[in-house]
Amino acid sequence: MSIEVLLNEFQEVSEHPYKVLSQYKAEGKKVIGVLPYYAPEELVIAAGMVPMGIWGSNKKTISRAKEYCATFYCTIAQLALEMLLDGTLDQLDGLITPTICDTLRPMSQNFRVAMAGKLPCIFLAHPQYRRPAFGLKFCLDQYTNVKTELEKIAGAPITDEALSAAIKVMNRSRAARREFVKLAGQHPEAVSAVKRSAVLRSAYFMEKEAHTAKLEALNAELAALPASDFKGPKVVTSGIICDNPKLLKIFDDNGIAIAADDVAQESRAIRVDCAETGDPMQALCQMFADQDYDVLLFDEKSSENRRAEHVCQLVKESGASGLILFMQQFCDPEEMEYPYLKKALDAAEIPHIKLGIDQQMQDFGQASTAIQAFADVL
Ligand code: SF4
């Protein structure tokens, strides 16, 4: 299949996740909504169900969710609740609500209250100290609870064999997505910023094995392309999410390529794999402990500014000449980290811009002007 056809298929899924959800339900499958961040999708797959990522929406406005949320909650969290309240996600069989930031913690209770009697909401608190033995033990307790609740929904136990198989499925998916990110950065003439996002976003909606098979086919086609003669500026994108096609079209209209990303919904979520040997539940906890360089994770060595150094390194290694940071409005973790990131970028002489966005934004005129001007500087 041609690159264009494959990219269009990913885009179709990315733009119409509700069709995919309906299709799975028509096939008799159970589907579990998975909110950000770091929920072990492996457990859902091992239970024979389909994990479906819920990262807000670019097509909705907040209305019903206002009843439950303070106005200073980010739009990702509010729009996730909006879709649960307005019936968009009525077909879900359950919901996993991680609580890794100060918005998601109270939101987990809003989801629970709003969905009482309608949808099982599975609370998940990751440990702040994720590496010491007590952190791993806490994580195991939490994951065991998630497993128990998923088993209730599935109506069958999750066996170690099924979980080990699910770990392999997810590792293969992460590897294919990492490879795609690399190839898309090398071939911006073949993969636009809009299509790049659609490929990565659709992984949250499609069954992982189907998505991986299609993506491996795309990667093979991209790897066979001759070396790119792309001459435009290349950047690294950073932030929580950057999946609005209108926003990404600004990159394509101005001939700007995304060489790599430090985006939570994209590469931050697929950096670390899970061990395929040993006890699978312990392995899942160790995978979370191995996560790093994320504003949402506690860093014992934060005074060393390791995360910002990591981002600077990413810019250099990817061949990008600058960084564009998409700052979600009301996202405290990202806002608090920004001064440290700026300090490291300035010290490394990496030009960058910071653009405030939220998911209800429809007019990107200001962003367009800023990105155009930044491209000129680069
Ligand atoms: S965008 Fe920021 S505040 Fe909102 S859920 Fe993500 S980390 Fe939390």
- Per-residue pLDDT for 1 more than 80? no
pTM recorded for the entire structure? 0.96
Query: pLDDT tens digits, residue range 236-284?
Result: 999 999 999 999 999 999 999 999 999 999 999 999 999 999 999 999 9
Alpha carbons 283 and 365: distance in angstroms, whole number: 46
H or E stretch including 245? helix 245-253
Does ligand 1 come within 6 angstroms of the Cβ of 77? yes
Where would I find the beta strands (DSSP E) of 25-118?
31-34, 50-53, 94-98
Q: What percent of the chain has pLDDT over 70?
A: 100
- Per-residue pLDDT for 213 more than 80? yes
On average, the pLDDT of the chain sits at 96
Site to probe by mutation for ligand 1, drawn from 69, 100, 103 as the one with most ligand atoms within 8 Å of Cβ, is 103
Site to probe by mutation for ligand 1, drawn from 71, 74, 124, 332 as the one with most ligand atoms within 8 Å of Cβ, is 74
- Per-residue pLDDT for 35 more than 90? yes
**Residue 348 in 3-state DSSP?**
coil
Bridge-based pairing state of the strands 121-124 and 234-239: unpaired
Alpha carbons 291 and 130: distance in angstroms, whole number: 9
Does ligand 1 come within 6 angstroms of the Cβ of 239? no
Alpha carbons 161 and 167: distance in angstroms, whole number: 10
Tell me what pLDDT residue 361 has.
Answer: 87
Tell me the CA distances in angstroms from 184 to 24, 58, 124, 221, 223, one per residue in order.
29, 23, 34, 11, 10
Neighbours of 292 (CB within 10 A): 15
Identify the residue whose C-alpha is closest to ligand 1 atom 4: 74
Tell me what pLDDT residue 160 has.
Answer: 98
Query: pLDDT tens digits, residue range 57-81?
Result: 999 999 999 999 988 899 999 999 9
Q: Separation of 101 CA from ligand 1 center, angstroms?
A: 6
Q: Separation of 286 CA from ligand 1 center, angstroms?
A: 24
What's CA 332's distance to the chain center, in Å?
18
Span 190-215, average pLDDT: 98
Tell me what pLDDT residue 114 has.
Answer: 93
